[in-house]
Amino acid sequence: MTQNREGRSSGMSFGSLARRPEAGSLVGLVLVYTFFAIMGGAVFVGAPGWSSWLNIAAEVGIVALPVGLLMIAGELDISVGSVIPASQMTAAIISGHFGLPILLGIGCGLGVGLLVGYINGLLVTRTTIPSLIITIGTMFGVMGLTLGFAVLIAGSTSVFLVPTPLTKLVLGTFLGGMFNVSIFWWIAFAIVIYFLLHFSPLGNWIFALGGDRDSARNAGIPTRGLTIWLYMLSGFAAAFVGILQLMTYQNAQVATGQSFIFNSIMCVVIGGVILTGGSGSVIGIVIGTATFAIVNQGIFFSGLDPNIGSIIIGALLLAAVLSNDGFRALALKYSTKKG
Amino acid sequence: MSANAPILALRNVNKSFGPIDVLHDINLEVRAGEVLCLLGDNGAGKSTLIRILSGVHQPTTGAIEMDGGQVSFPNPRAAADKGIATVHQFGGTFPLMSIGRSFFVGVEPTKGWGPFKVYDRKKANAIAVKAVQDFGITRIDDGDRLVGGLSGGERQSLAIARAVHFGARVLILDEPTAALGVKQAAHVLRIVNEAKRRGLAVIFITHQVMHAMAVGDHFAVLIRGAVAADFKKGEKSREQITDLMAGGETMADLEKSIDGYMSTHGGHPPPPAH
């Protein structure tokens, strides 16, 4: 017995690292970065390269974090793709078209995200329809409403808005002409969600929800409330990205955001979240997002055909799913072989 | 002595889902330090009965009594708060969570202050490991291990230890041995005995008569939603109980009819009756 214990603790550092859910994604990140550092050269490893992929990573990352929480809890959210344009269009119509105070516009834009999230959560918890289908439904619904109202009220599919200096500074500046402030918002979201998932008791509830919904409910976890809350969080984050885009480009488009649907899910999966739920980590999601963004932007620095970037992302995704399963098996096996 | 006062009792409980009556006039009692075995074939209403006891469903008519007073469980949490713990077939635990984390699901120990309360991993692991080891599962010594890496019996034991730790007075075990091998099942039966020794009232749901007879003090056989027989340890033999569960058709008769058929049909067994 004691021998067993000693034997294990000596091999602990490497073993415990390899069993962490983000272990595989870290390997992927290092490989991808090295590849593009060689192909892209000094420009890619310098500030232009970093700002280019960080700007992309920040926007996807803010959405990917709460989508990752949902996936850990065993649900999907497709509707983020239409919440982004809906929130920026709402804000642009209120503050740009009607000229009302910009804070009101931002508040209503974020409110749209919370509302869509609430509806998603309600539908997912009150029906037995898979969340994939429900959120595809709400995505199309919100998309249609955004387009309809934009044309009806503003008479156009794109609405301009001139932010005040303060909102521009906080939500839409490029620091040093390169780094978008969204990067800092991404870091802030990551820290808050990292704390939520890994340190607060709530995180345990999320893992339990994804692990076994019935057992979680029997253990007294308010599963319905928690699910609705998680959908509202992802709606809010998507709406927030919509506002960030609006403040950066000063123009709301009804057609933005579709790319976020697959991209956010890919970042989460590349980050080691298991598709069936119950396992994953915020560090993994951040790593997955960075990996995705590096491939996405690195391809332009490398001089390769941009289509190769899509192939690399596709391959990464499949490799990630395979290795996620491998790491899960490793994590489970570790405990049975001793004793 | 406490043996005379039931902790939990069902009085004339009926349950119907729409037009379908699932349970009829169920009367059951379970006392501290006693194992009540609830036997019944598939579809006899065992699951519905468990769900009523654990607050998932509410009886259509009839009453649930605890310590002699009428109670109602509007949701599972209410039942849990009154000390009723349900352990499901696969232990009701989370394969990809650590032992410590799954042990404290819903009641996480925290340290820190206000919104910065954090989950206390060390404390959770230490308490979880100790609770399980107190039940004789000494193989579990690391609270960071994943639940999915435990054997079926260990998972059940973990779930039972968890229920006992959180002050359960009534332990409902839903087919705890159904998916287990012989050795693992014996393991779980020992844990059941330990829970009984500690003065818990145990409701043990099974359709394996052997397992029921190994730990049971009191038996109730459920047939088509009604209590068909209610008897104490030693009052009936294993064959009698099996016959009861099969709905009155005795195993001996069944064997005879199969033998008779086979002898007249060149050794072929009869086709299924329905």
Q: Residue A201 is nearest to which of B54, B95, B110, comparing CB atoms?
A: B110
Q: Do A278 and B97 touch (CB under 8 A)?
A: yes
Classify residue A5: in a domain, yes or no.
no
Burial track A185-223 (b if 16+ CB lie within 10 A, e otherwise) = bbeebbeebbbbbbbbbbbbbbbbbbbbbebbbbbbbeb
ipTM for the assembly: 0.74
A15: in domain? no
Q: What is the pLDDT along chain A (339 residues), one digit of tens a residue?
A: 333 333 343 344 555 666 666 777 888 899 999 999 998 888 899 998 999 999 999 999 999 999 999 999 999 999 999 999 999 999 999 999 999 999 999 999 999 999 999 999 999 999 999 999 999 999 999 999 999 999 999 998 889 998 899 999 899 889 888 999 999 999 999 999 999 999 998 999 999 999 888 888 877 788 999 999 999 999 999 999 999 999 999 999 888 888 999 999 999 999 989 888 888 899 999 999 999 999 999 988 888 888 888 898 889 889 888 888 777 777 776 654 443
Domains detected in chain B? 28-236 (3.40.50.300), 237-274 (no CATH)
3-class SS at B24?
A: strand
Contacts of A234 (CB under 8 A, 6+ apart): A63, A66, A67, A69, A70, A77, A80, A117
Q: Is residue A32 part of a domain?
A: yes
Distance CA B214, CA A156 (A): 77
- Asked, for residue A189, whether it belongs to a domain, the answer is yes
Backbone angles phi, psi at A54, to 5 degrees: -65, -40
Residue B81, classed as helix, strand or coil, is helix
Tens of pLDDT, residue by residue over B39-95, are 887 778 888 888 898 888 899 999 899 888 888 888 877 888 888 888 876 656 688
Q: What is the CATH number of the domain that holds A37?
A: 1.10.3470
Distance from CA of B12 to the nearest CA of A (A): 25
Is A38 within a domain? yes
- Distance between CA atoms of residues B90 and B143, nearest Å: 19
Q: How far is A328 from chain B (nearest CA, A)?
A: 8
By the 10 Å C-beta count (0-12 exposed, 13-18 middle, 19+ buried), B91 is classed as: buried
Assigned domain for A6 exists: no
Residues of chain A positioned with their CB less than 8 A from the CB of B101:
204, 207
Burial of B226 (0-12, 13-18, 19+ CB in 10 A): middle
**Phi, psi (5° rounding) for residue A225?**
-60, -40
With beta carbons less than 8 A apart as the criterion, state whether B28 and B3 touch: no
Chain B within 8 Å of A9 (Cβ-Cβ)?
A: no
Residue A112 and residue A232: Cα distance in Å, rounded? 10
What's the CA gap between A62 and A181, in Å, rounded? 12
Given CB atoms, is A259 within the 8 Å cutoff of chain B?
no
Q: How many CA atoms lie within 13 A of B65 on its CB side?
A: 17
Domain span at A211: 21-332
- The model's pTM is 0.82
Q: Give chain A's domain count.
A: 1
> For residue A191, is it within any domain?
yes
Query: Between β-strands B35-40 and B218-223, what pairing exists: parallel, antiparallel or unpaired?
Result: parallel
β-partners of residue A332 are none
Cβ atoms of B34 and B201 within 8 Å: the answer is: yes
